[in-house]
Structure 1
Amino acid sequence: MSEHMLRGPIEAILMVASEPVDAFELADVLGVSADDIDAELRALASEYLGEGQDHPRGFELREVAGGWRIYSARAYADVVGRFVVGSSHARLSQAALETLAVIAYRQPISRTRISRIRGVNVDGVVRTLMARGLVEETGLTPSGARLYGTTSEFLEKMGLTSLSELVPLAPYLPDADALDELEEEL
């Protein structure tokens, strides 16, 4: 199968995939080498970014969580965010988004610490995030409190390959050590 003949089947599979698809899986399904698939995926990703085009596309192909997946283009994140948060399509409440952000940036973290940071009880919200596969128990503190962290599903949904790709917190916010000291004083 020629490279150009691979595009249609690859795109069709990626459009229906509920999780990232790796090159080996695509190669197996399409009966070609993983190297051919990898080259075509990279070419599609570059094409979708709109390189050399006056009007970039509204979607892009990203390599995340060990595979490839189609996402809305980063250039339109503000528009997509307004649509998702401001419509009936909202998937997470504001409380869940805030709690998820605390967990993502401070993990591993206990419910008690999350509650202190947010100033409200987060038990129900953490259960919801766990039920949706975005958060998981990662261990215990010496006192026996459960610790929570984000999952690979979280990375996938956010379009990240690792937590190091999270947007840095604003430079005017205190660092983690200063936050810990402040929290202990309270």
Structure 2
Amino acid sequence: MNLLMARAIIEALIFSSSEPISNKTLADILGINEHTVKQMITDLIEERIQNKSGLQIIEVANGYQFVTHPDCAPYVEKLQKTPRNVGLSQAAIETLAIIAYKQPITKAEIESLRGVSIESALNTLVEKNLVEEGGRKDAPGRPILYRTTCQFLKYFGLNDLSELPKIPEWVDSGEYLKFGMEQNGGAQNEKMDEKNV
């Protein structure tokens, strides 16, 4: 892998991650050492600063993420005040699929199935009224249980949960959950007003 491709992949990974992505994670994905990744990120950060790019890479919470340049803030705020019709992010779709098929389910159980933090995706789903609290689990700490809402049924054009696509025994459930939700939600995604996915 050449340097330009590695840098492009790093940018794509930082951009695609809903949470700050660590130097170690980037190095593991690319199969190169952390020092090299760190140097490439430092170069990318400097280039974006020198070019006065509207998107900057910052280090936060032991990871990296893209943010808009502070000088662009007034214009970004105008956009955020303008209603937009966009669909759910991939992370939100996967999280919603798990809740739909496994409900009621706790945040920890969802994260165990997805293998990543779902904080942002879950907050988005609650804000959009697709998911709600459905009581507390009878377990230590009494964690919150999540379930889908009536708005969820409307959004995906379902009368009730029995209309969710069935998961064949031979299909990996995680992949099918994602596929099923995308199929049901594909035509409906444009109807949702999105603030932050």
TM-score (norm 2): 0.42
Which protein has greater RCO, CA pairs closer than 8 Å, 6+ apart? 2
TM-score (norm 1): 0.45
